[in-house]
Structure 1
Amino acid sequence: MPHALAHIDTWIFDLDNTLYPASCHLFAQIDDRMGRFIMELLGVDAAEARRVQKGFFHAHGMTLRGLMTDHGVDPHDFLAKVHDIDLSVVEHDAALVSALGALPGRKIIFTNADLHYATRVLARLGLEDAFEAVHDVHAMDYQPKPAAAAYARLCEQHGIDPTRAIFFEDMARNLAPAKAIGMTTVWIDNGSEQGPAVAGDFIDYRITDLGAWLGEVVAELETA
């Protein structure tokens, strides 16, 4: 397995439910705040707000894109409100810190969230200095994963050769566009919400523990 990754020079990671386990339920807090935002914006009850929220999530890859398109929501206002959450549930991950520090090559975050929130989460994990860049939803020009344009923009802005890159994601469907342009793909299968079912022929590796898996990869690459 690890020898097949010897050509990789860029390691790309999603943020939420990828660098920390879905079991800490951090995203549930965001989910709740998005629901409240929609209730207030549209004057609807919780059930209708959830229907709208999940409809936009499945159709656009993130709720924000639908709110911007259909209701003219300001992205900075929305993100500031939904990311105002308690991060104490995210714990320092020593194994992941060690593995990422030993990986050869570039490391980049590719997230539908924004830089301010990502920076706070990375600090909780002890990874504030682990990544060269955070390519966030603003850098995507609000065309989030899984839109093909998001991946093209990532590669263009950071000079990435996708055939020499590997992408880690908890949302399986977000791996399909990465595979289509030549990236190696890793699905973090940890029980996070998946949305509409998709075929899995674009997934190269399916794992449950990112830190442990990367640790094995580092060990094998060092002895190869």
Structure 2
Amino acid sequence: MIARLAHIDTWIFDLDNTLYPARANLFARIDARMTAYIADLLGVDAQEAHRVQKAYFIGHGTTLAGLMAEHDVDPQAFLAYVHDIEMDVLEEDAPLAAAIARLPGRKLVFTNGDKPYALKVLDRLGLGGSFEAVHDIHAMDLVPKPHPAAYDGLCRAFGIDPMRALFVEDMARNLKPAKAIGMTTVWVDNGSEQDPDTTRDYVDFHVRDLAPWLESIWETV
């Protein structure tokens, strides 16, 4: 393995738009369900619901966090509703499965979604047996990335030394707290939605596609 990564013994991956490409547009289906949920909850039209949704996403880390803070929404009901989608746009990704299998050490999924949804996505991608565990929004006590408590809780739960861990994410802002505690950071810049902050000095590796990058970290003879 390349020298910059030789010390890594824990590989941590976000789920949505990271383990599958943003161009699959799976999250667009969740996004539409969130807009519909808010429209019904607040009695507003789709345009206003979408504005509220994005304001909560930017201001609270996730739409759910904003809805819980501002409207005391039941997280279980919300997650069940927004994750009730078809996953036919996802395909098995054998190259990615092989690249992850080759990595030495532990492999974890760290997602603001919930575990049942994450397991369905992983199975669809052919990654059902690729990870030791899924650390989801419930394991975070409903305090999502990018809140520092989410990262501290992950490290405590699995005994992770952040100085020996690498975190892969499509949302650049979610890498900042990881870098702050010593993790090596990888931004999968594949076209997914970002917040207005354009500072990227906490990104160690800027990549476009995950599987080719994982294949490239091995020295060739």
Q: Aligned partners of 2:129 and 2:184: how far apart in 1?
A: 24
Specify the alignment match of 2:70 in structure 1: 70
* Partners of 1:185 and 1:203 within 8 A in 2: yes
**For structure 1, which segment, 189-198 or 52-61, has the greater mean C-alpha deviation from structure 2 after superposition?**
189-198
Secondary structure at the counterpart of residue 186 of structure 2:
strand
Partner of 2:186: 186
Where does residue 27 of structure 1 map in the other structure?
A: 27
How far 1:21 moved relative to its partner? 0.3
Q: The residue matched to 1:11 in structure 2 has which SS?
A: strand
Question: Could you tell me the percent identity over the aligned residues?
Answer: 62
Q: 1:196: how far off? A: 2.0
Aligned equivalents of 2:50, 2:209: Cα separation in 1:
30
Look up the match of 2:144: 144
Is 1:112 aligned to residue 112 of structure 2?
yes
- How many Å separate the matches in 2 of 1:2 and 1:46? 49
Cα distance in 1 for partners of 2:40, 2:209 equals 38
Cα RMSD of the aligned pairs, angstroms, is 1.1
Between Structure 1 and Structure 2, how many residues are aligned?
Answer: 221
Q: Which runs of 4+ in 1 moved over 6 A?
A: none
Q: CA deviation at 1:2?
A: 2.0
Deviation at 1:212, TM superposition (A): 1.0
Cα distance in 2 for partners of 1:19, 1:214 equals 12
Q: Which residue of 1 aligns with 2:168?
A: 168
What TM-score results when the alignment is normalised by the length of structure 2? 0.98
Partner of 1:6: 6
The answer to whether residue 217 in structure 2 is matched with residue 197 in structure 1 is no
Counterpart position of 1:101: 101
| TM superposition shift of 1:188 | 0.1
Q: What secondary structure sits across from 1:206 in the alignment?
A: strand
Residue deviations 1:1-31, cap 9 Å, x none? 8221000000000000000000010000000
The Cα of 1:216 is off from its aligned counterpart by 2.0
Q: Hey, what's the Cα distance between the residues in 2 that align with 1:23 and 1:2? A: 29
Q: Which residue type is aligned with residue 140 of structure 1? A: M
Normalised by the length of structure 1, the TM-score is 0.96
Q: Which of 190-199 and 152-161 deviates more?
A: 190-199
Query: Which segments of 5 or more consecutive residues in structure 2 lack a partner in the other structure?
Result: none
| Pairwise CA distance, 1:198 | 3.4
Segments of structure 1 that go 5 or more residues without pairing to the other structure are none
Matches of 2:207 and 2:56, distance apart in 1: 28
State yes or no: 1:46 paired with 2:49. Answer: no
